[in-house]
Amino acid sequence: MSVGRALTVHLLVSFALIALTFNATSQPWIADVAVDHVVDSLVRKWLLWTLALANLAGALVVAALPSSRRGAFIARHAALSLFVPVVLLLLRSGPGLLAGQLGALYVALIVAVALHLLWGLWDALAGIGDRTAAALLGAVALAVFLALLPYHRAVQPTASDEPHYLLIVQSLLYDRDLDLRNDYEGDRYRVFYPDRLPDMHGIEVGRAVYPIRDLGLPIAAAVPFAVGGRTGVLAVICVLGALLAAQLFLLARDLGFRRESAFVAAALASFTHPVLTYTTQIYPELAIALIFATVARLLRRGRATGWQALALASALTALLPLLSTRAWLIAAPVALVAGLFGILAPLSLAERARRGVAAGAPFVAIVGALAVANGAMFGVYLPSAGYYIIRDQQQVLAYTPQVGGLGLLFDRVFGLVGRAPIYLLALLGLGALWARRRTHGATLLVLAAGWLAYFAYIASIAYWWADGSPPSRYLLGSIPFLVVALAGGLDLLAAVPWRALAASGVAALAGTSAFVAYVYAVLPNIRYDLALDIRARNGSGQLWDHLGRVFRPEPGRVLPSLVTLDAASIALALAWAALGVVLIAAGFRMAARGARRSVPLA
């Protein structure tokens, strides 16, 4: 089937099925199903929105598919779209639905759409270039993220730091200043927060109250908020997540991993926790991860990187501390590496000087401007002056990286592995990264320098769990390193003689990660736990409490609690650490064997 014919058939089928769904959602009996406004909105409006997004993304995939696969894709697409009005008709004679019940069906539809589109993209992968594949993966991710957005927007209020970021945006838009006193004392923030804010995230300077939160996200969110309020900002976050999905695929390909491994790693990372979770959260970490991945790709030529790429990488790196003070631990080592790439090239002194200016001047200029802005607010000319001023009011460093490091990965409530066990394969993939140190050293140096410094710092702070926000928030900014390591783990497993067993293990880890992402998507409010509550009742967190009603024994009990640190948790932490060491050692051994097999015999 030719591209033109396939697109015509796809368009006609899509139009017919959307019209059928629209007719079904317009029927008067829908009022009997929609017992509250959330359900009514999902049924009458957002089902059509999801199908429209699926059809647009599907058209892009159809154009990329080989001719022999287009008919099967369109038939599957029609069956998936037809499922929606059929379900609505079946619900006609049933009881009214609550938001949670329809939410489970709505998110299940989004999951089906994602799997359908990714299946089509997988079939097209061999016949398209890397950039086309990355663009299509980003388009599929954007369709899924935007489809999930209205449901979360309806059932999940802003929480933790989110309303404070939006309050700064309001001050920028409506008052043209950063003095937040009138904003906290007023009530216009109730358009995105349902009650009085219980605390004030600011520093008093005379009568003014200036934000302690970093300004990068509020500045970037000002225009989207003016256009669409909180929903407009979330839409931009979804775009950042889609761009990150594309960059993760290209980053893995830059490191020479198989296209299939790069695709699976980027897709799994994009559609599981924490990336998927934070596409409906107003935090700067997705932007940090995107910039980190982009800078690593810009500097992949090392000392041969052109001065234009050096200048752009320098400017982007300087934006990291504008987004979050914690991101200094990524920005500083990456800026140092970029500077070394600029001045150590085997060129003339004049050329090295020009490259050094390109690598350093944008960074210095942007950081200097940030320092001036902080000086105007606080009277302290430092780029992160707010946190410097309150340094005596809050303990930051606990100097226990062994606790925080294990907690970031394996903690029962706040750890990454419990919510996305697919990242266990990233430990295996470290060996594959090490094996590429000679051929792809520049990219790996950027990624490793930023990730190691950042991880060591986060592991050493007293509140490494970042409670009040969904888990793994502090790991998200450095996630590109873990994703390329995940691609490395998949690459190693693709070369083993026992591939069927390896594929089963990968499927189990991926399925568990996807299931947790689904639970979080259906019940977004269970993603928020507080360390004080966990310590008070030695609990497992809302996720495992919820799943423990169905699964016995409670799955979370196999993970340690690094927040409470009782005897059982210490033993479990040591066991998980040992497993991590075994996986890392196995990965290095598999990579070494693969390297020996690839060397031709004399």
Q: What is the pLDDT of residue 97?
A: 52
Q: Is residue 423 part of a domain?
A: yes
Does residue 266 sit within a domain?
Answer: yes
Same domain, 169 and 149: no
Token readout for 533 is 């509550």
Q: What is the pLDDT of residue 103?
A: 79
pLDDT at position 479, please? 97
- Give the long-range contacts of residues 534-538, CB within 8 A, separation 24 or more: 534/413, 534/561, 534/563, 534/564, 535/563, 535/564, 538/564, 538/566
Q: Is 581 exposed, middle or buried (0-12, 13-18, 19+ CB in 10 A)?
A: exposed
Residues 143 and 172 in one domain: no
Nearest to residue 335, comparing CAs of 298, 372, 385? 298
Distance CA 268, CA 420 (A): 9
Q: Hey, CA dihedral for 272, 275, 276, 281, is it positive or negative? A: positive
Torsion of CA 437, 440, 444, 445, to 10 degrees: 80
Name which of 461, 477, 318, 474 is nearest 391 in CA terms.
Answer: 461
Burial profile 161-198: b = 16 or more Cβ within 10 angstroms, e = fewer: bbbbbbbbbbbbeeeeebbbeebbeeeebeebbeeeee
Residue 218 lies in a domain: no
Q: How many distinct helices (H) and strands (E) make up the chain? A: 25, 2
600 inside domain? no
Asked if 374 and 429 sit in the same domain, the reply is yes
Q: Alpha-carbon distance 38 to 99, whole Å?
A: 6
Q: Are residues 536 and 396 in the same domain?
A: yes
CB 21 within 8 A of CB 82: no
Same-domain status, 62 and 194: no
| Domain of 331, in residue numbers | 236-593
Exposure of 138 in the CB half-sphere (CA atoms within 13 A): 18
412 within some domain: yes
Contacts of 445 (CB under 8 A, 6+ apart): 302, 337
How far does CA 34 lie from the centroid of its chain?
32
How far, in Å, CA of 318 to CA of 331, rounded?
Answer: 7
What is the model's pLDDT at position 90?
64
Alpha carbons 21 and 387: distance in angstroms, whole number: 53
Per the domain annotation, does 602 fall within a domain? no
**465: amino acid identity, one letter:** W
Please give the Cα distance from 35 to 552 (Å, whole number). 33
Tell me which of 155, 179, 201 is where a domain ends.
155
CA 432 to chain centre: 23
Q: Are residues 327 and 287 in the same domain?
A: yes
In angstroms, rounded to a whole number, what is the distance separating the alpha carbons of residues 287 and 208? 29
Say if residue 79 is in the same domain as residue 207. Answer: no
Whether the Cβ atoms of residue 541 and residue 556 lie closer than 8 Å to each other: yes
Q: For residue 339, give Cα distances in angstroms to 309, 317, 369, 478.
A: 12, 12, 20, 21
Q: Which residues of the chain have pLDDT under 70?
A: 1, 24-40, 89-101, 596-602
- Over residues 287-312, the pLDDT tens digits come to 999 999 999 999 999 999 999 999 99
For residues 138 and 186, membership in a common domain is answered with no
Please check whether residues 451 and 365 belong to one and the same domain. yes
The residue assigned the tokens 């761009």 is 243
507 and 444 in a common domain: yes
Give how far Cα 48 sits from Cα of 2, 22, 41, 114, 371, Å.
28, 7, 11, 16, 48
Q: Where are the alpha helices (DSSP H) in 188-345?
A: 216-254, 259-270, 285-298, 307-323, 328-343
- Residue-level pLDDT at 540: 87
Q: Are residues 129 and 178 in the same domain?
A: no
Q: Is residue 365 part of a domain?
A: yes
Number of independent structural domains in the chain: 3
In a domain, 599, yes or no: no
**d(Cα 274, Cα 266) in Å, to the nearest integer?**
13
Residues 208 and 250 in one domain: no
User: Which stretches of 94-215 are DSSP H helices?
Assistant: 99-124, 130-155, 162-170, 181-185
